[in-house]
Amino acid sequence: MSDEKPRGVLRIPGSKPDVLRDPPPAIAREPMRSNSELEPLAKQVAANAPLMNKFRATIGCEDEARMRDMIDEVRNYARSIDSALTYAEGARLALLLSNIDDRGSPS
């Protein structure tokens, strides 16, 4: 009896230049809102004093996981006000909040 393992043939289909494929369907995406469009929402979020106190305490910390969790918390609260808020807009909103002072206006 030999120690040879059974051998098979692995066939990988290749793309042939003569075969035309349809391009993938385009994904319809809404453009991300600008800072000026998100500013009213940022002011509403800034009106939540406990959230803003926690946000300010977290800004600048060296703990990336803590900052990520805080941005998610801000994003989720903002979504309770505006359900159309996208993930990327939530991150932009957190940046806007970092520029809002205690009075709720941009610094």
48 domain-assigned:
yes
As a whole number of angstroms, the distance between CA 99 and CA 106 comes to: 6
Q: Could you report the per-residue pLDDT of 15-37, keeping only the tens digit for each?
A: 665 556 677 777 767 788 999 99
Predicted confidence at residue 22, as pLDDT, reads 72
3 domain-assigned:
no
40 domain-assigned:
yes
Domain count, the chain: 1
DSSP 40-98: HHHHHHHT-HHHHHHHHHHTT-S-HHHHHHHHHHHHHHHHHH-TT--HHHHHHHHHHHH
24 domain-assigned:
no
83 domain-assigned:
yes
Q: Could you report the per-residue pLDDT of 53-105, keeping only the tens digit for each?
A: 999 999 888 899 999 999 999 999 999 999 999 999 999 999 999 888 655 55
Predicted confidence at residue 60, as pLDDT, reads 83
14 domain-assigned:
no
Pick the closest to residue 95 from 29, 6, 33, 7 (CA basis): 33
Domain assignment of residue 64, given as a range:
35-98
